Chain A
Amino acid sequence: MKVGDLAKYWVDKHNEHYSSYLLSEREPRYMMKTFFLYSYHLFKTLKEGWGDFLVGYSKIFRRNPSNDYYGLRDPTDESNDNARKNSLEWVAAFAVCAEIGFPHNESAMKKFRKYSEIYLGKARTTPDSEWIDFFVSSAVAYMPEVYERTVQWFPSALEKYLSKAELTPHQLMIYLKATRNCKGQNELQEKALARLLKWIENPTDTYERQVTIWARLITEMQWLPELSNEEILRRTKENFASSLERVYSVDMLNSPMVLDACYSAADEELKKEILRILVSRLAPAKLIALEELFNFLEHSDAALEMQEASRKIREKCKSSVSQDECKACMKDKKGDCWIRILSKLTHTAPRLHSGYEVADKVVYSLQQGVYIVVKAEEIAHQTGEGDVLFRQCVTLFSVDHALVLYLNPFETAPTVIENIKKAASSSKNNPVFEVIDQKYVRQLIRKYLHDEKTDK
């Protein structure tokens, strides 16, 4: 599988599922939860430019998955399939809580702790159950401060786990992570490490399985000097690349981790190629939020033909338009301007000349605290134009938690936008300033014109 194809595959899956994860109150099960956890790790690896997703993920990871949720996730379930899913779901849940925190809701947090303790108690008495080692080891690996008692008895359990003849590298890796938090257990760590190194020297799985093992070694195990030394890392990367070349596909669950490994192991050129695919195809987190207001928006740049039309729309029909004139125009149209467009698209009556409107720009008050600012002319000639826009937006930031959406059909001078963003981030009132770029502005126009046509 080519890295470019893998990147496209992950982006498509992410576009498909992220929005529903964000909006659906139903907590995803192990497969999707792990997919999102690995996607979160991938965004962390990419660093700059993907902050919206890091915020978005931390928001949804900590929501309340309803009170009885954890009570139904028994990793010692009699059904092997349920035990596997539940155990692996706890692995993701422990990792999420360790990195981001418990659910916001206090009772959900209590239930999480209560049921995890109950299941750890059961796990202690059933060390031979299949999959239980993932559950116990991840509790120790990710949250040793929370599960102190488990940390105490974990070494004896690990001895039993390690006595098994058949252990996958995934098992060995989670054991190694757990032993980091058990003082004086060097012998057990060495045992696990020796078996893992043996596998690295003589990999025995199918290429499909090998891909995820090599990827995990690259993305999660580089803290261990024995695995990050030059020789082992070179071998790991080579084997990862050759395994990936030999497979036709990667399963959805692990695709972000494999892409994360590709990016980490890539040279500068390949890194750029991956980023180019992500930038062009990944629906930004901002779009999903904007869909709250404009549910017809698409990530694809599908309204290029509206470029000229969007630049011809006037901010207002005249400089000193009254609220009554605007309201009358909604029924008896005098022309197309941004006030009319926003009124029609958001199904709201225009509220003009509020205390927040300064100079001759449009501040469309959707609600108290939710504003759309339009600058439908190029900032080019007159000095001070940017200052007016800056002052206008900063005035809005005086409202507690103001949401200011800035329509940007002319791609206003980037320095002005940057200054407004800085003012927003330093405001004590915690405003959000979001720029709606040309791509979406054109879609707004298209939708408006389409609705106008069908209304006739």
Chain B
Amino acid sequence: MTRTAQSLTDKLENMRSYVELSQDMLPKGVSAKGIQDALDFLSPIVVLVHGSRVSHRKFSTKKKSDLDILCVSIKAAFWPLEELYSKAQKNLEKQNVKIDLSIVSYRGFLSIFEERTALCDSLDHGFSVLYSEENT
């Protein structure tokens, strides 16, 4: 496990909007393991689940919420993102639920907080750690 992953996980778990992962954050039939396997090729440092399934605050009128996943991977800096997205989406299709995936590099992830982007707002409302390299 890299110290990067360790410090990132520590940082995330100390954030106010961090919540423990619970099964009700994932749609029926979707498993954390299934998502991990689908994103395994990205060698993720950390995979987060965020959005209304975690925060229970809805910002759209849709009845069902998408599953919002954020994957932090060093590999995001080395491949065209299009290729990584297309492969990840293909793998995630097996999960049978609409997943809104974001793939960011480690430094890109830090900039989400620095730049206060829309993704940062979503994380501020609540997120949980679905997978961390720390646990491998």
Flag whether A413 is at the interface (Cβ < 8 A): no
Is A347's CB under 8 angstroms from B115's CB? no
Flag whether A435 is at the interface (Cβ < 8 A): no
User: For B87, what are the chain A residues with a Cβ–Cβ distance below 8 Å?
Assistant: 401, 430
User: For B112, what are the chain A residues with a Cβ–Cβ distance below 8 Å?
Assistant: 25
Query: Known interface pairs A24-B115, A347-B2, A368-B43. Does A292 touch B74 (Cβ–Cβ under 8 Å)?
Result: yes
Cα-based distance from A154 to B71 in the complex (angstroms)? 44
Which residues of A (118-150) have their CB < 8 Å from a CB of B?
none
Which residues of A (341-395) have their CB < 8 Å from a CB of B?
346-349, 366-370
Flag whether A31 is at the interface (Cβ < 8 A): no
Is B80's CB under 8 angstroms from A58's CB? yes
| Least CB separation from A26: chain B residue | B115
User: For A370, what are the chain B residues with a Cβ–Cβ distance below 8 Å?
Assistant: 43, 74-75
User: For A288, what are the chain B residues with a Cβ–Cβ distance below 8 Å?
Assistant: 77
Which single member of B81, B105, B118 contacts A68 (CB below 8 Å)?
B118
Contact with A along B118-133 (1 / 0, CB 8 A): 1100000000000001
Which residues of B (20-51) have their CB < 8 Å from a CB of A?
40-43, 45
Closest Cβ–Cβ distance, residue B60 to chain A (whole Å): 10
Cα-based distance from A60 to B83 in the complex (angstroms)? 13
Cα-based distance from A195 to B120 in the complex (angstroms)? 50
Which single member of A25, A292, A430 contacts B106 (CB below 8 Å)?
A292
Flag whether A434 is at the interface (Cβ < 8 A): yes
Cα-based distance from A289 to B3 in the complex (angstroms)? 19
Which residues of A (43-90) have their CB < 8 Å from a CB of B?
55, 58-59, 62-64, 66-68
User: For B107, what are the chain A residues with a Cβ–Cβ distance below 8 Å?
Assistant: 23, 291-292, 295
Closest Cβ–Cβ distance, residue B101 to chain A (whole Å): 9
Which residues of A (407-452) have their CB < 8 Å from a CB of B?
430, 432, 434
Flag whether A205 is at the interface (Cβ < 8 A): no
Flag whether A400 is at the interface (Cβ < 8 A): yes
User: For B114, what are the chain A residues with a Cβ–Cβ distance below 8 Å?
Assistant: 24
Instruction: Report whether over half of chain A's contact residues are helix, strand or loop; otherwise say mixed.
Output: loop
Is B80's CB under 8 angstroms from A55's CB? yes
Cα-based distance from A370 to B40 in the complex (angstroms)? 12
Is B1's CB under 8 angstroms from A23's CB? no
Cα-based distance from A192 to B4 in the complex (angstroms)? 59
User: For B43, what are the chain A residues with a Cβ–Cβ distance below 8 Å?
Assistant: 367-370, 401, 403
| Least CB separation from B118: chain A residue | A66
Cα-based distance from A58 to B79 in the complex (angstroms)? 11
Which single member of A25, A368, A403 contacts B117 (CB below 8 Å)?
A25
Contact with A along B80-106 (1 / 0, CB 8 A): 111111010000000000000010111
Is A367's CB under 8 angstroms from B81's CB? no
User: For B77, what are the chain A residues with a Cβ–Cβ distance below 8 Å?
Assistant: 22, 288-289, 292
Is A25's CB under 8 angstroms from B75's CB? no
Is B81's CB under 8 angstroms from A59's CB? yes
Which residues of A (282-324) have their CB < 8 Å from a CB of B?
288-289, 291-293, 295
Is A104's CB under 8 angstroms from B75's CB? no
Cα-based distance from A26 to B104 in the complex (angstroms)? 13
Query: Known interface pairs A59-B80, A62-B82. Does A292 touch B105 (Cβ–Cβ under 8 Å)?
Result: yes
Cα-based distance from A400 to B37 in the complex (angstroms)? 12
| Least CB separation from A64: chain B residue | B102
| Least CB separation from B117: chain A residue | A25
Is B82's CB under 8 angstroms from A66's CB? no
Cα-based distance from A64 to B112 in the complex (angstroms)? 13
Is B85's CB under 8 angstroms from A104's CB? yes
Which single member of A23, A291, A367, A434 contacts B111 (CB below 8 Å)?
A23
Is A23's CB under 8 angstroms from B108's CB? yes
Query: Known interface pairs A23-B111, A400-B41. Does A432 touch B78 (Cβ–Cβ under 8 Å)?
Result: yes
Closest Cβ–Cβ distance, residue A347 to chain B (whole Å): 3
Is B82's CB under 8 angstroms from A347's CB? no
Query: Known interface pairs A23-B108, A348-B2. Does A434 touch B79 (Cβ–Cβ under 8 Å)?
Result: no
Is A347's CB under 8 angstroms from B4's CB? yes
User: For B102, what are the chain A residues with a Cβ–Cβ distance below 8 Å?
Assistant: 64
Query: Known interface pairs A23-B105, A25-B117, A367-B133. Does A289 touch B78 (Cβ–Cβ under 8 Å)?
Result: yes
14 cross-chain CB contacts under 8 A: A24-B114, A25-B112, A26-B111, A59-B81, A66-B118, A292-B78, A295-B107, A348-B1, A367-B133, A370-B74, A401-B79, A401-B87, A430-B87, A432-B78
Partner-B contacts on A (CB < 8 A)? 22-26, 55, 58-59, 62-64, 66-68, 104, 288-289, 291-293, 295, 346-349, 366-370, 400-401, 403, 430, 432, 434
| CB-CB nearest 10 A-B residue pairs | A347-B3, A369-B43, A66-B118, A289-B77, A25-B117, A26-B115, A400-B41, A401-B41, A292-B77, A367-B43
